[in-house]
Amino acid sequence: MSSPIQGNSALFDTLWFTRCPVPTATGIAADQGWLDREFAADGIAVRSLQDVPPEVAADHHYTHALTGLFREGGNVPALWARSRGEATRLIGLTWIEERQVVLVRAGSGITEPGQLRGLRLAIPHHDIGIDFWRAMALAGFRGALGLAGLTLADAEPVDVPGLRGGGQWSAELAALRDGRVDAVYVKGALAVEAARRIGAEVAVELDAAPDRRARVNNGTPRPITVHQRLLDERPDLVARFLAVLLEAADWAVEHPAEVVRILQAETGAGAEGVAGAYAQGSHRTLHLDLSAERLELLGVQERFLMGRGFLAAPVDVQAWADPVPLRAARELLRVRRADGGGGAGGGGESGDLRRTAFS
């Protein structure tokens, strides 16, 4: 069956974007209207998958089968789609410290990673194409156990069916509250609020680990991907989109209060949940790059997912990454700023872009 969304024309008269309910430069740019302004003069509409009915959005957020789509979201679906043969390219990575913890029942006395040995760990199961919730829990516990030199084999995984229509982490936290499991991995703003509602206590703070590899998970690092066809046919559009995201990241550095407001809208959490989930200074960390470190950390995740059966085939992270669009975006910003114009959503620069960034 063909998708309700058509965007496969070489003209690309509509660009789509999708992001997860977490801190993203895409979310900030969308909130400020900069993506619309960037492409309005070209007659190109920019639309969000989150703003259309489910029957229209289909499963493109996960499969990335829509060629005109920019996706800034979790790496589990992105790697999964690539492993299934979807012709996507990795064009940027962010690393945002989004609070990751292992929770236990109040009064349990569990306060360090080594005490997870032999415990019943909540491993959710959702009937969806790619169960990123399950992957997150397994990776989170892998990181926590690893801090004590342990592995997942040193604990007892307990399948917890997801609650249809339930909130994030609701099934796992209910199992903890009811004594069916001993520990739950959670991350993010809504998890902070949910944990407080049931009186759960933090046993392991993954964010406190000095080695980032302990925190490698679905959102760390978080990729931005595009379809190869869009990149082949309209590299100028890809570079301009990324330039807006770079501008959004710059803007966020100077507007922390506005970033909190946007995060509350993006995550659906209150100010307390946002403050508890994101490290102080997170508004300064939205910039994209394809550094060797971030690619290596994504490689750690790819190997973990492959070993756990989440991927149909291995993904060569280095070959998947294309640094050209990000370099072009930075050059575009340099040219715009040198000309004394531009700024977020400046628009109308496709001619200059073709002559400079792709010359």
Q: Read off the pLDDT of residues 24-72 as tens digits, 9 standing for 90 and up.
A: 888 889 888 999 999 999 999 999 898 888 877 879 989 999 999 999 9
The pLDDT value recorded for residue 355 is: 32
The pLDDT value recorded for residue 100 is: 92
The pLDDT value recorded for residue 252 is: 85
95: CB partners within 8 A, 6+ apart: 212, 220, 221, 222, 285, 294, 297
Q: Which of 323, 322, 331 is nearest to 240 (CA)?
A: 331
DSSP reduced 3-state for 347:
coil
Q: Which two tokens stand for residue 43?
A: 């007659």
How many residues in total does the chain contain?
359
Q: Which two tokens stand for residue 254?
A: 């100077």
Burial class (CB in 10 A: 0-12, 13-18, 19+), 233: middle
Q: Which two tokens stand for residue 199?
A: 């009186």
Q: How far is CA 247 from CA 253, 269, 277, 281, in A?
A: 10, 25, 24, 17
Q: Which two tokens stand for residue 215?
A: 């925190």
The pLDDT value recorded for residue 196 is: 83
Q: Which two tokens stand for residue 216?
A: 């490698």
pTM, entire model: 0.88
Residue 178 phi/psi, 5-degree rounding, is: -85, 0
Contact between 239 and 332 (Cβ < 8 Å) = yes
In the chain, which residues have pLDDT < 50? 1-4, 6-10, 277, 345-359
